[in-house]
């Protein structure tokens, strides 16, 4: 049940303030807390949740301006056709039910009736059809791969959508959530370039919270959607329980830690504090540390080469770089143990796909120097063989700068002089994905529960998309790799598809198109007062529709 102070009359409020103790008059908030505590299963309605996202996203529609902070915000504004439970099994959201044809060549979704966009326009099958074909497949860095087998979308009526496929698509059932396969309002996007549509900065969604304002460099405010389709157990417009969410951008990590400790922030994703502070904050009884809410995204940290620089066409150079970087030391020293050495491009979290026993590149500077000598990159009089720049995502935290500095030092030891280029998120997106003007870069991508979602985009030539972030930044193109990836996309047989995924991992480890560095163990903190979170492997990418603040 829900408990809402706004529904009390003056007499009820006075009774509450006098109730339950001989300690004198209680404040309204204290009275509410006592009543909430006295009613098992009750939910305290109202209030503002102060949350953190860092860095500031480039846009707020995560399916278009893709980045982790955009996803954390966007999950509250947009619902998807499906959502997932703690075991990552599909659950109804905008689609109430669905059925797959026996041959796997079509899926029929029956949409929820009575859903409206935040501007009051009805949500219909036309929005789904437009979003799938014109936004997700064309502009999302993972969309072309995720929906490779979707060849059409039919809309027999306003509440029915039929996906037409070339055959069974195992990956499809893992990507239909609101921030991955994002449904946007056709009436606001049709006839525009989705990447530059102004509604990306003031989104209109179907979710539990509505966009209110974005004060650049400060905060994003979302307010309760009074017309949200999910009425809660009582069916009386209960959800969402919070009045508003204010996502504050706090660039300084130390300031974020202090804000969590003193209660100014009650929800903070994206590794909000330095890794060195985690053990200390974990002991604070007012805070809860969560390391599970990022398991499904499965972040992978890697080192990329720009293949527009001919130097990196030589596999000996790439292998030399791999041998020069001490990944175990990086995990231990830079990440304070909150990372594991990556053994493959597929994270070990994806247990059904991960292939053990692949070739590895142990830390061996002498081997690295030998390979560079063989490649014709001899040391000059100053001891330098090669000069390169290296782009880092410092806006995600100082840990990425420290990792880059460690790699710079280790590459210097083998005669490679590295100049670090430290940029904010917008700068990284422009330099890597629009200008393509860099030598090397280190970054992290979410792998998600299936390699087709978040892994193959790094290596597929068709994912070299100008201006599209988190795609194939390196411009890597190899026909053999493309055949493997497209086989993964097309194969509907689970066992045969697994064989192709293993071939992908073997190819990547042998050819080293990119260096797999670490599997990151992301974490977040939230206040012990914050209840109703959708805990599980997608916690920080889930809506806060069920969340409420105690006392």
**CATH 3.10.105.10 domain position(s) in the chain:** 299-520
The list of the chain residues with pLDDT below 70 reads 1-42, 233-237
C-alpha of 244 from chain center: 22
Token pair belonging to 371: 């390979």
In terms of DSSP H, where are the helices of 22-67?
28-38
Strands 43-44 and 339-341: unpaired
* Among candidate residues 86, 107, 161, the one with its CA nearest the CA of residue 129: 161
The pLDDT assigned to 66 comes to 82
CATH 3.40.190.10 fits 48-54+207-295+523-549, yes or no: yes
6 burial level (CB within 10 Å; 0-12, 13-18, 19+): exposed
CA atoms within 13 A on the CB side of 442: 32
The pLDDT assigned to 11 comes to 46
The model's pLDDT over 116-166, given as tens digits with 9 standing for 90+, comes to: 999 999 999 999 999 999 999 998 888 889 999 999 999 999 999 999 999
In the numeric block, the tokens 């994270």 are attached to 347
The pLDDT assigned to 9 comes to 47
Element (DSSP H or E) covering residue 515: strand 514-520
Token pair belonging to 199: 């509604």
CA pair distance 547, 157, nearest whole angstrom: 35
The pLDDT assigned to 160 comes to 98
The pLDDT assigned to 22 comes to 38
CA pair distance 19, 32, nearest whole angstrom: 10
Give ∠ CA 453-448-508 in degrees, rounded to 5.
65
Residue 149 near residue 171 (C-beta atoms within 8 A): no
Which residues are CB-contacts of 470 (< 8 A; sequence separation ≥ 6)?
Answer: 66, 67, 141, 142, 433, 445, 457
**Which pTM was predicted?**
0.82
The pLDDT assigned to 85 comes to 86
The pLDDT assigned to 43 comes to 73
CA pair distance 195, 134, nearest whole angstrom: 11
CA pair distance 311, 313, nearest whole angstrom: 6
The pLDDT assigned to 241 comes to 95
CA pair distance 130, 184, nearest whole angstrom: 8
**CATH 3.40.190.10 domain position(s) in the chain:** 48-54+207-295+523-549
* 79-188 topology per CATH: Dipeptide-binding Protein; domain 1 (3.90.76)
299-520 CATH: 3.10.105.10
CA pair distance 40, 57, nearest whole angstrom: 39
Per-position DSSP letters for 11-24, written without gaps between them? HHHHHHHHTT-SS-
CA pair distance 145, 124, nearest whole angstrom: 25
Count of helices and strands (H, E) across the chain: 17, 23
Query: Alpha-carbon Rg of the chain, whole angstroms?
Result: 25
**CATH 3.90.76.10 domain position(s) in the chain:** 79-188
Q: What pairs with residue 525 in β-bridges?
A: 268, 289
| HEC letters along 413-451 | CCCEEEEEEEECHHHHHHHHHHHCCCCEEEEEEECCCCH
CA pair distance 15, 523, nearest whole angstrom: 43
The model's pLDDT over 45-77, given as tens digits with 9 standing for 90+, comes to: 899 999 999 889 989 999 888 888 999 999 999
């Amino acid at each position: 049940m829900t408990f809402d102070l706004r529904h009390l009359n003056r007499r009820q409020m006075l009774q509450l303030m006098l109730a339950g103790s001989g300690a004198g008059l209680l404040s309204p908030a204290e009275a509410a807390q006592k009543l909430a505590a006295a009613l098992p299963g009750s939910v305290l309605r109202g209030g503002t949740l102060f949350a953190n996202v860092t860095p500031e996203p480039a846009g707020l529609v995560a399916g278009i301006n893709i980045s982790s902070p955009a996803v954390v915000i966007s999950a509250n504004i947009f619902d998807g056709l499906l959502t997932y439970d703690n075991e990552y099994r599909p659950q109804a959201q905008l689609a109430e039910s669905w059925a797959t044809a026996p041959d796997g060549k079509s899926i029929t979704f029956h949409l929820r009736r009575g859903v409206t966009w935040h501007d009051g326009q009805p949500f219909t099958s036309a929005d789904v059809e437009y979003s799938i074909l014109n936004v997700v497949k064309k502009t999302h860095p993972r969309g072309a791969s995720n929906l490779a087998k979707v060849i059409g979308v039919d809309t027999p009526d306003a509440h029915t959508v039929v996906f037409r496929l070339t055959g069974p698509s195992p990956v499809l059932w893992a990507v239909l959530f609101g921030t991955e396969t994002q449904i946007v309002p056709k009436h606001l996007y049709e006839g525009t370039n989705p990447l530059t549509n102004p509604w990306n900065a003031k989104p209109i969604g179907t979710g539990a919270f509505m966009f209110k304002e974005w004060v650049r460099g400060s905060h994003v405010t979302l307010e309760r959607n009074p017309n949200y389709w999910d009425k809660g157990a009582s069916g009386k417009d209960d959800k969402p329980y919070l009045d508003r969410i204010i996502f504050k951008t706090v660039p300084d990590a130390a300031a974020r830690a202090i804000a969590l400790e003193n209660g100014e922030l009650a929800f903070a994703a994206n590794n909000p504090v330095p890794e060195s502070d985690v053990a200390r904050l974990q002991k604070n009884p007012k805070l809860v540390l969560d390391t599970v809410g990022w398991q499904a995204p499965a972040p992978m940290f890697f080192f990329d080469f720009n293949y527009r620089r001919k130097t990196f066409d030589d596999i000996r150079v790439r292998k030399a770089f791999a041998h020069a970087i001490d990944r175990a030391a990086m995990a231990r020293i830079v990440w304070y143990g909150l990372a594991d050495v990556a053994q493959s491009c597929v994270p070990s979290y994806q247990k059904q796909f991960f292939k053990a026993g692949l070739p590895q590149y142990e830390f061996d500077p002498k081997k690295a120097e030998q390979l560079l000598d063989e490649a014709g990159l001899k040391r000059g009089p100053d001891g330098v063989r090669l000069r390169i720049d290296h782009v880092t995502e410092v806006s995600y935290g100082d840990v990425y700068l420290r990792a880059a500095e460690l790699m710079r030092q280790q590459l210097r030891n083998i005669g490679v002089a590295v100049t670090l280029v430290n940029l904010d998120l917008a700068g990284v997106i422009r330099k890597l994905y629009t200008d393509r003007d860099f030598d090397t870069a280190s970054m992290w991508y979410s792998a998600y529960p299936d390699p087709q979602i978040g892994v193959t985009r790094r290596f597929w030539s068709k994912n070299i998309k100008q201006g599209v972030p988190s795609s194939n930044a390196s411009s890597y193109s190899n026909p053999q790799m493309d055949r493997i990836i497209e086989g993964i996309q097309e194969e509907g047989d689970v066992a045969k598809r697994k064989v192709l995924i293993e071939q992908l991992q073997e190819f990547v480890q042998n050819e080293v198109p990119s260096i797999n560095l670490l599997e990151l163990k992301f974490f977040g903190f939230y206040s012990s007062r914050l209840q109703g979170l959708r805990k599980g492997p997608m916690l920080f990418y889930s809506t806060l529709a069920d969340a409420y603040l105690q006392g």
